[in-house]
Amino acid sequence: MEYRGVVLDVDGTVVRGDEAIPGALDGLAAIEDAGLDRLFVSNNPTKAPPAYESRLRGAGIEVSTDEIVTSGTTTTVFLADEHPGARTFCIGESGLHDQLREAGLELVGPTDDPEVVVVAIDRDFHFDDMRDAYVALRNGAQFYGTDPDIVIPTADGDIPGSGAVIHAVAGVAGREPDAILGKPSPVAQGIVLDRLGLPPEDVLIVGDRLDTDIAFGLDAGMGTAVVRTGVTDDAALANSEYEPDHVLDSLGDIGQVLFA
């Protein structure tokens, strides 16, 4: 299969913390040699594309903001289209709050009759936040999560992600989110394919998570490759409903797919 574009997960695939994962730079060079268009697509909503550009450049990866999509991107694009200017209560970190404001949404408190509630990773999440989310949702506000990642890889090991916070809020609210907007959602698929300007069958996605990256690719009709440098190991592969087209030890082995 000859691909024309590649979607690259970031954490666990290209970098861990602020360092490039061994083999990642070689893999990116192979992608460049193959002449593929690329997008870096992260389910981290806390940093906008310019911050990701700085982070990736610090790891030795030359990239532009146009090549970066985050779950903050998908969330703000969706909300700006579907709920322009909506009164929005957000559980999330300051970087997500800034992105929502820049998209024209009005950030309000839980008792200010919010129309939309957005929930994401918040490393200061505590009981008061869960209470506030319950108050914000009890009058019928729309409920959105940025991404479903229960745990995320960091330089110091895996930590709870947005999915863990979303589950806590869903539990106390007694309702599931109306949509989760990062990978593998149809919203994210549409934004990514629109950015690449390619049909899904011409695109390969490479990531470390079966339930987000590989599910994203399979649902959209892309080629799929999972790497073992993040959260997926042999046990996860054996027990998952999502079967990737390729299993790679690292992004450095991407040439086996591109030049086979």
Give the torsion sign (CA, 227, 232, 233, 237): negative
Query: Which of the listed CATH numbers 3.40.50.1000, 3.40.1710.10, 2.40.128.130, 3.30.70.1400 matches domain 87-180?
Result: 3.40.50.1000
Residue type, 251: L
The pLDDT of residue 156 is 81
The pLDDT of residue 96 is 97
Entry pTM:
0.93
The pLDDT of residue 161 is 94
Detail the DSSP E strand segments found in 22-161: 37-42, 68-70, 87-91, 106-107, 116-119, 142-145, 151-152, 159-160
Does residue 8 contact residue 209 with C-beta atoms inside 8 Å? Answer: no
The pLDDT of residue 141 is 97
Q: Give pLDDT tens digits along the chain (260 positions).
A: 799 999 999 999 999 989 999 999 999 999 999 999 999 999 999 999 999 999 999 999 999 999 999 999 999 999 999 999 999 999 999 999 999 999 999 999 999 999 999 999 999 999 999 999 999 999 899 999 999 999 887 778 888 999 999 999 999 999 999 999 999 999 999 999 999 999 999 999 999 999 999 999 999 999 999 999 988 999 999 999 999 999 999 999 999 999 87
Domain extents in the chain? 5-43+183-258, 87-180
5-43+183-258: what CATH class? alpha beta
Question: Which of 66, 72, 73 shows the shortest CA–CA distance to 92?
Answer: 72
Q: Is there a shared CATH topology between the 5-43+183-258 domain and the 87-180 domain?
A: yes
Beta bridge partners of 42: 70
